[in-house]
Structure 1
């Protein structure tokens, strides 16, 4: 009977795959950090309804959420060089993109994708902050910036954390699409190994175990963070929140 499934190969392939784990983690962490920061700015602009910018980002969010991530990766990887060529032509410059690593295009696409989705989560979270808490903070003499930093952001972050956590996990698994831009990460490395041994199933089982382990570790970390920043459901804590969260102890 032929050796249809080699269980030993599943585990012997894991060390070779883990060599490219740093690439996956770099894409995940960088894109998430930039995505949260840019998403917060977009959310704030849309909440304040700033002229022109609010409409621009509304279209941006709609476009990103309405198109597949793989298409956005292609647009970044093939579109930026074309834009640069037009720029050079009309401005008589000679900028070259040949020396730019493919990872840069991947990070750009993933960061913008995360920003669009995170902006909606953060916008909803900020809008969910009770007006009484904001009014209480204002009554204490806080400036709009202080209200934003001490009340709105901490309260909104508690609300948005579960959604942001799910987005982080999805992003980590979505990095497997980076291979379309010639970036070798976990999944791309798996394809290369499988093409050499023709043991595709065993390699993909190895990949599944690695991604599963990463997801479990991420979920544990998120639960720890959520537990630390959650506000206790007590009258004193509620009163503290209503008074504008003057202390950062519960955040």
Structure 2
């Protein structure tokens, strides 16, 4: 997953560098002047807002990165607890997954945005802790909400992938004296990753688009930036087209990198070995 994000960030960094080059060289301004600027609908307004919206791209990627990393870790924990039916934890996991999959992500975002400060105030009053709750950035609340929502859906994908691993490989690892942790780390997780990668890529694309809801928690990401720009001249429709194009391009980049990684992780079948008639006769002798 870290390698995947590294490739995504490199490609996006190159794209942003090329974009800044077009702006600094004046070529983009010339392109904007060539576009029609209608009164009812302005194509020029669609593309003129893109540079300002891209200024918030790092925030969107930040939310996506940490939401997916923590979500993947929680999903793996949820999947292991469910497979092994760990006492007490199994019931808690079933409750959390059912709740998170049965409520909208926007509701979960609001619950974390208002609920976590209440919890922190309670701990401060109960244990006389010396901290300032107002110093906690709202980004933390958004990451928590995205991570738990991601874990609720991804845990089932990981569980199915783990259970699809050949039991013979697991038995072979046990016969070699590996512990359960070593079996998961060296046998189960690498094999399950190959199976789960396509679904995880789709989930990552969904999370990237879902970060647009972070504006509800007071976070200025790309969608919030488009909304702010639209409020200046009431060209909301054009600005929303601008941010839609950006999300679309990001999704295409993630999808193509995911396909590349999926092909690189594919377990290839051995080539058919053809024996010459002379070799076959010698083997029979």
TM over 0.5, yes or no? yes
Partner of 2:210: 174
Offset of 1:154 from its aligned partner? 0.9
- Structure 1 residue 88 corresponds to structure 2 residue 127: no
Q: How does 1:201-240 map to 2 (within 5 A)?
A: 201-234=237-270
For 2:152, the equivalent position in structure 1 comes to: 116
Render the CA deviation track for 1:224-250: whole Å, top value 9, x for unaligned: 1101111013379xxxxxxxxxxxxxx
Query: Partners in 2 of 1:70 and 1:234 — Cα distance?
Result: 48
TM-score (norm 2): 0.78
Give the conservation status (yes or no) of the 8 Å contact 1:84–1:95.
Answer: no
Q: TM-score, normalised by structure 1?
A: 0.89
SS at match of 2:134: coil
* Shift >4 Å, 4+ stretches: none
Match of 1:6 in 2: 42
The Cα shift of 1:85 comes to 2.4
Q: Provide, for residues 52-100 of structure 1, a one-character-per-residue CA deviation record: whole Å limited to 9, x for no partner.
A: 1111111111111111100111011111112222233333445331011
Gaps of 5+ in 1: 237-251
Residue by residue over 1:193-225, the C-alpha shift from the partner in whole angstroms, topping out at 9 and shown as x without a partner, is: 001111111111111110000000000110011
1:47: Cα distance to partner?
A: 1.2
Q: Does 1:133 align with 2:182?
A: no
Aligned partners of 2:79 and 2:155 also within 8 Å: yes
Residue 249 of structure 1 is matched in structure 2 by none
Q: Deviations over 1:13-61 (max 9, x none)?
A: 1000000000000000111011111211221122111111111111111
How many pairs are equivalent?
235
Residue 165 (str. 1) matches residue 208 (str. 2): no
* Structure 2: tracts of 5 or more residues without a match: 1-37, 273-285
1:98 match: secondary structure: helix
After TM superposition, list the pairs within 5 Å mapping 1:24-173 onto structure 2: 24-173=60-209
- Inter-partner Cα distance in structure 2 for 1:135 and 1:88: 50
| Residue 9 (structure 2) aligns with | none
Q: Matched residues in 2 for 1:190 and 1:218: separation?
A: 22
